């Protein structure tokens, strides 16, 4: 990591106060990719740039001893939650697929391919047979009782799978979407890998469509952290991505069959796929039904949803920035289809720039003016061995030992206040899913020339 000189930091902060929105999006995009490197689990490759991270969780295994190393630690913890990891992968793929020029101008195409492949290589390992998929490694309750370096973990790391008799159509549907979107990404650079991904996508979709159930019932340990509410939205979203990857209209008949139970949903995040699905279907089919759905949803959120005093969309108190940038990204996709283009782009940029410093401080670690230094992130908080790292480290007032470049934290309270405190995980934690739409939106604005 190239250290940033003090002079540059001062310069950036002066500019960001003087001219709202004049941020170096390419720099932030590159840093966001470093964040994904810092979340890597398993054996790290020789070209790993984030050197303070070490090999970890090398014994992650399935119930029959299958190798389940790799993938991403979810957030500030070390659990590998397949559900948000799949959403992250779908969104990173979407961003690279449709905003390739943005990644090109930031010289970040190959790093983004690596970020996507780090997840899909792991998903392939988890998909041990047609109707058998490991959706989580590590237990939320066990993992969250420890505070240590990832390479020093000694706690038990159980692996949980879904099967035809214990199904989770939300998890399988989102994973099908991730496989399909990633297959499109790799089509031009590695066609054999793209074909492998597409085969997994088709099988996972079939699994999801035929064997319905909720993740929280199939893998109750996920309830600590990710309570998924429906699966119809993932079935529609997955079908949309499969349709994009195959051109097979059968997938659109699945969308039609699901439409009545789906049409009154909302949201766009690790749980809710509504807005992403309708805007993607609008793009792929041009059908006015989908255009109307995304227009109504974006208009509602942009015009009527709660906001902080300084204009941040405030859809939830836990990780508000992530919900704001998710909507900003998805409505930017609508803008690209000619739907309220100028106003949606203006609003999306406002949300992005809030995270980068417009409200007086940066919420992206290692970037801009007064960024967070106490993110709720176990690995970054721990000094290098042999120094002790435990709950005293967690509760200490010292800044994190390592700079987790590019991680966007949860964000402010509704009054725009922010306490840079490791124990306030609703506002200072990071997450793989938090950075996904954020990074894709950066690529989009870079492509538009900011
Ligand atoms: C394509 O992906 C496969 C599977 O990861 C890998 O073994 C192979 O080296 C890749 N080929 C190229 C040209 O990158």
Categorize the per-residue pLDDT at 12 as very low, low, confident or very high, splitting at 50, 70 and 90.
very low
Q: Which of 121, 287, 416, 420 is catalytic?
A: 420
DSSP SS3 for 133: strand
Segment 425-434 mean pLDDT: 98
Q: Can 77 be counted among the known catalytic residues?
A: yes
The pLDDT, as a whole number, for residue 21 is: 53
Q: Any residues with Cβ below 6 Å from ligand 1, and which?
A: 190, 192-193
Q: Which of 233, 347, 429, 447 is catalytic?
A: 429
What is the extent of the structural domain holding 416? 25-448
The pLDDT, as a whole number, for residue 155 is: 95
CB 241 within 8 A of CB 278: no
Query: Candidates 116, 192, 197, 199: which one to mutate for ligand 1, based on the most atoms within 8 Å of Cβ?
Result: 192
Alpha-carbon Rg for the chain, nearest whole angstrom, is 20
Q: How far is the CA of 193 from the centre of ligand 1 (A)?
A: 6
CA 117 to ligand 1: nearest atom: 5
| Domain presence at residue 18 | no
Segment 21-27 mean pLDDT: 90
pLDDT digits (tens, 9 = 90+) for 239-295: 999 999 999 999 999 999 999 999 999 999 999 999 999 999 999 999 999 999 999
- How far apart are the C-alpha atoms of 370 and 359, rounded to whole Å? 11
| Domain presence at residue 219 | yes
pLDDT digits (tens, 9 = 90+) for 209-226: 999 999 999 999 999 999
Q: Can 420 be counted among the known catalytic residues?
A: yes
Contacts of 126 (CB under 8 A, 6+ apart): 62, 68, 71, 82, 133, 134, 135, 161
Segment 374-393 mean pLDDT: 98
Categorize the per-residue pLDDT at 16 as very low, low, confident or very high, splitting at 50, 70 and 90.
very low
Q: Can 248 be counted among the known catalytic residues?
A: no
Q: Which tokens sit at 340?
A: 């309220």
Q: Which of 77, 98, 143, 233 is catalytic?
A: 77
The pLDDT, as a whole number, for residue 127 is: 98
CATH at 131: 1.50.10.10
| Domain presence at residue 5 | no
The pLDDT, as a whole number, for residue 341 is: 98
CA 196 to ligand 1: nearest atom: 4
| Domain presence at residue 222 | yes
11, burial (CB in 10 Å: exposed 0-12, middle 13-18, buried 19+): exposed
- How far apart are the C-alpha atoms of 289 and 325, rounded to whole Å? 25
Residue of the CA atom closest to atom 9 of ligand 1: 190
Q: How far is the CA of 179 from the centre of ligand 1 (A)?
A: 16
| Domain presence at residue 432 | yes
The pLDDT, as a whole number, for residue 93 is: 99
Segment 133-139 mean pLDDT: 98
Q: Which of 99, 200, 374, 376 is catalytic?
A: 376
Q: How far is the CA of 298 from the centre of ligand 1 (A)?
A: 39
Q: How far is the CA of 116 from the centre of ligand 1 (A)?
A: 13
CA 121 to ligand 1: nearest atom: 5
Is the pLDDT score of 380 beyond 70? yes
| Domain presence at residue 52 | yes
pLDDT digits (tens, 9 = 90+) for 283-327: 999 999 999 999 999 999 999 999 999 999 999 999 999 999 999
Q: Can 127 be counted among the known catalytic residues?
A: no
| Domain presence at residue 19 | no
pLDDT digits (tens, 9 = 90+) for 92-130: 999 999 999 999 999 999 999 999 999 999 999 999 999
Bridge partners of 72, per DSSP, are: 40
The pLDDT, as a whole number, for residue 347 is: 98
- How far apart are the C-alpha atoms of 85 and 220, rounded to whole Å? 17
| Domain presence at residue 9 | no
Segment 48-58 mean pLDDT: 98
Q: How far is the CA of 124 from the centre of ligand 1 (A)?
A: 14
Q: Which tokens sit at 260?
A: 């009545």
pLDDT, averaged across the chain = 95
The pLDDT, as a whole number, for residue 6 is: 37
CA 192 to ligand 1: nearest atom: 1
What DSSP string runs through 302-315?
Answer: HHHS-B-TTS-B-S
Is the pLDDT score of 20 beyond 60? no
Residues in the chain: 450
- CB neighbours of residue 82 within 10 Å: 33
Task: Enter the DSSP assignment of 363.
Answer: -
Selected residue with higher pLDDT from 7 and 132: 132
Q: How far is CA 180 from CA 87, 196, 246, in A?
A: 12, 10, 9
Residue of the CA atom closest to atom 7 of ligand 1: 193
Instruction: State the total domains in the chain.
Output: 1
Query: Candidates 109, 114, 118, 190: which one to mutate for ligand 1, based on the most atoms within 8 Å of Cβ?
Result: 190
């Amino acid at each position: 990591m190239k250290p940033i000189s003090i002079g540059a930091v001062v310069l950036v902060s002066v500019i960001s106060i003087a001219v709202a929105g004049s941020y170096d999006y390419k720099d932030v995009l590159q840093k966001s990719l470093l964040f994904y490197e810092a979340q890597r689990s398993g054996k790290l490759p020789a070209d790993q740039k984030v050197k303070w991270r070490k090999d970890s969780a090398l014994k992650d295994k399935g119930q029959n001893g299958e190798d389940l190393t790799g993938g991403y630690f979810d957030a500030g913890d070390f659990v590998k939650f397949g559900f948000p990891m799949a959403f992250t992968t779908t969104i990173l793929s979407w961003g690279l697929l449709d905003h390739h020029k943005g990644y090109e101008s930031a010289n970040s195409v190959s790093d983004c391919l690596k970020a996507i492949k780090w997840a899909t290589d792991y998903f392939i390992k988890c998909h041990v047979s047609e109707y058998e998929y490991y959706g989580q490694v590590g237990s939320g309750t066990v993992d969250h009782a420890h505070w240590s370096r990832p390479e020093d973990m000694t706690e038990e790391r159980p692996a949980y799978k879904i099967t035809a008799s214990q199904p989770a159509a939300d998890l399988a549907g989102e994973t099908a979407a991730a496989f399909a979107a990633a297959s499109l990404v790799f089509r031009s650079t590695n066609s054999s890998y793209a074909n492998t991904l597409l085969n997994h996508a088709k099988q996972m979709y079939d699994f999801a469509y035929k064997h319905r159930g909720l993740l929280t019932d199939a893998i109750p340990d996920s309830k600590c952290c990710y309570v998924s509410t429906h699966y119809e939205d993932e079935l529609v979203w997955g079908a949309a991505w499969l349709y994009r990857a195959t051109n097979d209209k059968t997938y659109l008949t699945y969308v039609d069959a699901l439409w009545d139970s789906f049409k009154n949903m909302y949201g766009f995040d690790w749980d809710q796929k509504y807005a992403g699905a309708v805007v993607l279907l609008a793009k792929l089919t041009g059908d006015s039904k989908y255009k109307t759905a995304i227009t109504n949803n974006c208009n509602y959120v942009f015009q009527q949803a709660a906001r902080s005093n300084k204009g941040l969309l405030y859809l939830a108190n836990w990780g508000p920035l992530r919900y704001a940038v998710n909507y900003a990204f998805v409505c930017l996709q609508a803008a690209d289809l000619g739907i309220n283009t100028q106003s949606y782009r203006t609003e999306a940029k406002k949300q992005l720039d809030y995270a980068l410093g417009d409200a007086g401080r940066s919420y992206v670690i290692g970037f801009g003016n007064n960024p967070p230094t106490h993110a709720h992130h176990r690995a970054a908080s721990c000094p290098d061995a042999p120094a002790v790292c435990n709950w005293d480290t967690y509760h200490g007032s010292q800044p994190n030992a390592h700079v987790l470049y590019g991680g966007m934290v949860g964000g402010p309270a509704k009054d725009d206040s922010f306490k840079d405190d490791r124990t306030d995980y609703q506002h200072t934690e990071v997450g793989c899913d938090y950075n996904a739409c954020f990074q894709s939106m950066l690529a989009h604005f870079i492509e538009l020339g900011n």
